Amino acid sequence: RAKLEGKREACFFDDRMDAAERSRRKLETSLRSAVEGNLIEVVYQPIIQVSTGDITSFEALARWNQPERGPVPPDVFIPLAEDCGLIDEMGQQVLRRACADALQWPSHIKVAINLSPRQFLSGKLVETVQTVLEDTGLPADRLHLEITENLVIQNADEAFSQLEMLKHKGIQISVDDFGVGYSSLGYFQTFGFNKVKIDKSFIAEIESSQAAKAIVMAVVGLARQLSIAVVAEGVETPQQYQTLSELGCSQLQGYLFSPPIPVDRIDSFLRRQQNELPTGNVSESIQ
Ligand code: C2E
Ligand code: MG
Ligand code: MG
Ligand code: MG
């Protein structure tokens, strides 16, 4: 009897696996046609200079509105694109769109684009970036590329040599989500990153956790010693804003200032920003 039950259980389990696998394949097919149709959208979230309240850059964030399901979060479709070989094509589309969009903004405002570690594996990343810059006419110094710490772990030498070539063109390189990956401070010695973005999990706990605050202070100190910019991600409250500016964090990003917005709202966002003090926009733009 136990044997029978075990068998039935195994069967049930297999069925469920099939269902999960079927649903994954369906999503994959749908993602493939979205990428083929150039239907991945890009929204932009501002990064603010604390000392002046000015917008220094916008981070490009990919969006996928699946016809039946509605919006699928990037944390779902980016890993899917990585697994099914779509990330190079999708990454290139996001890059092309974001560079073209950035060209419409005031020239002191940069655009930051996220790179997946997988995009370093094809060996074509540097060439692709160069081609997109030439095609769109965006100056290299207006492009920032964000990479996570984990990138560097997997194939360090290869990744660093590509990063070096990109930086050599005048592109700025940021470390994203700093503190939650397999961080090695040694990477700051190996490569001259231009910017470090402190992961939002530390910002979320900066008021409640002495450890989170200590980590933020340490990263701010590190960035200052290295003369690189430091960004706090996920700033949601005026208290966090206050604490982070007291700690000497040079740039901030988060819902407190603005959620990611569609490109056609950037003009009016910038006009409004111009007329306001650094903290004046807080209650208005938080909705
Ligand atoms: P990320 O690069 O660290 O981007 C920041 C994420 O935090 C974004 O989530 C943003 O919408 C969200 N965020 C911004 N402000 C706040 C805040 O105040 N509170 C909270 N809780 N969250 C905030 P999103 O757009 O869902 O993207 C998630 C991740 O997906 C990104 O993390 C990035 O790693 C990846 N991603 C997004 N677009 C692309 C892309 O075009 N290419 C690649 N390779 N990855 C992308
Ligand atoms: Mg990012
Ligand atoms: Mg991040
Ligand atoms: Mg992230």
CA–CA distance, 231 with 194 (Å, rounded to integer): 11
CA–CA distance, 119 with 82 (Å, rounded to integer): 9
Spatial neighbors of 50 by CB under 8 A, at least 6 apart, are 244, 245, 249, 250, 251, 252, 278
Going by C-alpha positions, the residue among 89, 110, 101 that lies closest to residue 195 is 110
Name beta bridge partners: 71.
Answer: 65
The predicted structure's pLDDT at residue 185: 85
CA–CA distance, 243 with 207 (Å, rounded to integer): 8
Supply the DSSP symbol for 99. Answer: H
Q: How many CA atoms lie within 13 A of 5 on its CB side?
A: 2
Q: Whose CA is nearest to atom 10 of ligand 1?
A: 260
116 CA: nearest ligand 1 atom: 44
The predicted structure's pLDDT at residue 281: 44
94 lines ligand 1 (CB under 6 A): yes
* Residue ranges of the chain with per-residue pLDDT less than 70: 1-17, 151-154, 183, 277-287
Ligand number nearest to the C-alpha of 116: 1
53 lines ligand 1 (CB under 6 A): no
Q: How far are the Cα atoms of 198, 230, 249 from residue 195, in angstroms, in the given order?
A: 10, 6, 12
The predicted structure's pLDDT at residue 14: 64
78 lines ligand 1 (CB under 6 A): yes
* Residue in this structure with the two tokens 């030498």, named with its chain if needed: 157
* Helix 74-83 and helix 2-36, axial crossing angle in degrees, nearest 10: 90
In this structure, the number of other CB atoms found within 10 A of the CB of residue 216 comes to 24
The predicted structure's pLDDT at residue 154: 67
119 CA: nearest ligand 1 atom: 44
Q: Kindly give the distance from the C-alpha atom of residue 1 to the centroid of ligand 4, in angstroms, as a whole number.
A: 49
* Residue in this structure with the two tokens 């040694």, named with its chain if needed: 186
Q: Kindly give the distance from the C-alpha atom of residue 200 to the centroid of ligand 3, in angstroms, as a whole number.
A: 7
ipTM > 0.85 (yes/no): yes
Name beta bridge partners: 197.
Answer: 231
The predicted structure's pLDDT at residue 157: 83
144 lines ligand 1 (CB under 6 A): no
Question: 0.90 exceeded by the pTM?
Answer: yes
